[in-house]
Chain A
Amino acid sequence: MNQPVPSRKLILDRIRAATSSAAQSASQLAEAYAALPRAYIRHGSLSAQACIELMIQRLREYDAEVVECAPEELADTLAAQLAASGRHRFVAPSGAPPEWLVTSAHPIKGLEWTIDRGLAIDEIEKAEGIVTAATCGIADSGTIVLHHSSREGRRVLTLLPDYYLCILRASQIVETLPEYFSRCQQPPALATYISGPSATADIEMTRIKGVHGPRILVVILVRDDANK
Chain B
Amino acid sequence: MTHANSERVCLDPRFAPPFPQVAEQMLRNPQLRKNVGHAIDVIQTKRGKLVVEKTDWQELRSAASAIRAHALDNLGVYLEEFEARCTAAGGHVHWAADAADARQIILGLLREENATEVIKIKTMTSAEIQLNPFLQAAGVNVYETDLAEIILQLGEGEPSHIVVPALHINRSQVREIFARTMGLNNLSDDPKELTNAARTYLRQKFLTVPTAISGANFLVAETGTVAIVESEGNGRMCLTLPRAMISLVGIEKVLPRFQDLEVMLQLLARSATGERMNPYTSLWSGVTPGDGPQRFHVVLLDNGRSSILAKNKERQTLKCIRCAACMNTCPVYRQTGGHAYGSVYPGPIGAILTPQLMQMKHAQSLPYASSLCGACYEVCPVKINIPEVLLELRSQVVNQERKQAGRFFDLMYLGLRIANLIFATAWGFHAAQRMGRIGLRFFTRKDGWIHSLPSLGAKWTQTRDLRGLPKQTFHQWWAERAKEGK
Contacts and interface: CB of A to CB of B under 8 A. Distances in A.
Contacts of B277: 138, 141-143, 177, 193, 195
A10 interface: yes
27 contacts: A10-B302, A11-B300, A11-B306, A17-B310, A18-B310, A36-B63, A39-B56, A141-B269, A143-B277, A148-B288, A154-B290, A155-B236, A155-B291, A159-B236, A189-B284, A190-B283, A191-B282, A193-B265, A198-B280, A200-B147, A201-B164, A201-B273, A203-B166, A203-B191, A203-B194, A204-B35, A205-B164
Contacts of A141: 269, 276-277
B266 A177 contact: yes
Contacts of B347: none
A19 B70 contact: no
A86 interface: no
A118 B258 contact: no
A12 B284 contact: no
A196 interface: yes
Which 4 residue pairs of A and B lie closest in terms of their CB atoms, listed nearest first? A212-B233, A213-B233, A18-B310, A198-B233
Contacts of A190: 283-285, 288, 291-292
Contacts of A38: 59, 63, 263
B325 interface: no
Contact of A199 (B97, B167, B231): B231
Nearest to B259: A181
Contact of A36 (B66, B232, B237): B66
Given A177-B266, A197-B279, A205-B38, A11 B95 contact: yes
A39 B63 contact: yes
B233 A7 contact: no
Contacts of B280: 192-195, 198, 213
Interface string B301-317: 01000110110000000
A32 B66 CA distance: 10
B170 A204 contact: yes
Given A11-B95, A154-B290, A201-B273, A37 B164 contact: no
Given A24-B74, A190-B283, A211-B195, 16 more contacts: A7-B96, A15-B306, A36-B66, A36-B67, A36-B70, A41-B56, A141-B269, A155-B236, A181-B258, A187-B220, A187-B222, A187-B223, A199-B231, A202-B147, A205-B43, A208-B192
Interface in B170-227: 170-171, 174, 191-192, 194-195, 198-199, 202, 206-207, 220, 222-223, 225
Given A141-B276, A205-B164, A40 B233 contact: no
Given A212-B236, A213-B236, A195 B278 contact: yes
B101 A7 contact: yes
A76 to B, nearest CB: 30
B363 interface: no
Contacts of A84: none
A16 B76 contact: yes
A220 to B, nearest CB: 20
Given A125-B207, A190-B288, A204-B171, A177 B262 contact: yes
A202 B309 CA distance: 33
Nearest to B62: A37
| Listed residue (A154, A182, A193) with the most chain B CB atoms within 10 angstroms of its CB | A193
B75 A19 contact: yes
Interface residues of B, number: 95
A97 interface: no
Contacts of B281: 191-193, 195
Given A29-B77, A194-B280, A189 B89 contact: yes
Given A36-B70, A142-B276, A200-B147, A208 B195 contact: yes
A195 B269 CA distance: 11
B23 to A, nearest CB: 23
A189 B265 CA distance: 18
Choose among A118, A142, A188 the residue with the greatest number of B CB atoms under 10 Å from its CB: A188
A72 to B, nearest CB: 32
Interface in A161-204: 177-178, 180-182, 184, 187-204
Interface in A2-17: 6-8, 10-12, 14-17
Interface string B106-141: 000000000000000000000000000000000000
A121 B241 contact: yes
A22 interface: yes
B292 A155 contact: yes
B144 to A, nearest CB: 12
Given A32-B70, A39-B63, A148 B97 contact: no
B288 A189 contact: yes
Nearest to B42: A205
B39 interface: yes
Contacts of A188: 283
B181 to A, nearest CB: 16
Contact of B283 (A32, A125, A191, A213): A191
B76 A212 contact: no
Contacts of A201: 42, 164, 231, 273
B62 A8 contact: no
Contacts of A50: none
A209 B174 CA distance: 18
Contacts of A122: 207
A12 B76 contact: yes
A7 B97 contact: yes
Contacts of A208: 191-192, 195
Contacts of A121: 207, 241
A40 B475 CA distance: 52
A15 B251 contact: yes
Nearest to B72: A19
Given A18-B306, A204-B35, A155 B70 contact: no
B70 to A, nearest CB: 6
